[in-house]
Amino acid sequence: MGGNHGGPGRTLGIITLVVSAVLGATFLIGRNLVPDPPRHGSNVTATGADHPEYADQSAPSTEESGADASPTPRPAEPTPPDAPGDDPDVGPMGTRVSTGGAEVALTFDDGPNPDYTPQILAILREFHVTATFCVVGQNAEAYPWLVQQIVAEGHTLCNHSWDHDVTLGSRSPQRIQSDLLRTNAAIRAAAPEAPIAWYRQPGGAWTYPVINVARELGMTPLHWTLDTSDWQLPGATNITASVLAGVRPGSIVLMHDAGGNRQGTVNAVYRMLPKLTGRFDVRALPKRGM
């Protein structure tokens, strides 16, 4: 009565367990053979920031999207004469990532903006600090009085494209040139005598064509040393802490005065400047480029 309980059912159950164990072991072995995605150790970010108003600013990283970390190889492109090597002032594709001296440069992207740019200008004025404003052409056209105020108070201007096109570098040289010239024209309509010696590509999405066109127009490609990630809205305390902990002699600090809610950035600038100016000479980048 009790010697053959389960019969075929018990045999089937044992077979199922064995098959499951084999499949599980195969999955684990295969998973261990897949390499982990690369980690980024530099504080120089090649893709820059993402803004609510500029939803296409930067593509997700391979770690976030699960995409293949090894892109399809592209044909070799000519190396600019100031390509990065041992020079700490030179970054991606020959862009500028340092002031070249002991001074620190604060840079503000995406403006001008009538809510946040005047607040930042007032704080800089209070602490006797000049900065560099990377302006978007359509905003310069919309708020010319803010461009005039930026120039009148001794700050440096930087071209940041007409409408913050992250993909601008992938377009034809003629299209790139048209975009940059249109932006310069909007800036000069507000401030005819103001030099525009710098160009910063939206998202830090540099390509050789956009670098070449910028240089042909007399502008130095400007990257950054320290990205505060204020575009993620981490709050004034975190923005302040990231600057004070990460800044070094020669740092170019990336922040934003438009492209979303920038009140946290405004408050952070007010908090950080007393300590920052006590440690460094904080000033705008040269108006004639480098």
Domain boundaries, the chain: 88-279
In one-letter notation, the amino acid at residue 220 is T
Neighbour count for residue 158 (Cβ, 10 Å):
24
Least confident span in 79-83, 112-116, 186-190: 79-83
- 226-260 confidence digits (pLDDT tens): 999 999 999 999 999 999 999 999 999 999 999 99
* pLDDT of res. 73: 32
Contact 221, 96 (CB under 8 A): yes
For the chain, give percent helix, strand, coil, nearest 5. 40, 10, 45
Contact 164, 231 (CB under 8 A): no
* pLDDT of res. 85: 52
- 158-185 confidence digits (pLDDT tens): 999 999 999 999 999 999 999 999 999 9
Considering only the C-alpha atoms of the chain, give the largest distance between any 2 of them, rounded to a whole number of Å.
105
Mean pLDDT of 207-216: 98
* pLDDT of res. 86: 62
DSSP 7-43: HHHHHHHHHHHHHHHHHHHHHHHHHHTSPPPPPP--S
Mean pLDDT of 26-46: 32
The more confidently predicted of residues 93 and 27 is 93
Query: Spelled out in words, what is the top-level CATH class assigned to the domain 88-279?
Result: alpha beta
* Per-residue pLDDT at 92 exceeds 90: no
Residues belonging to the active site: 109, 256
Mean pLDDT of 203-214: 97
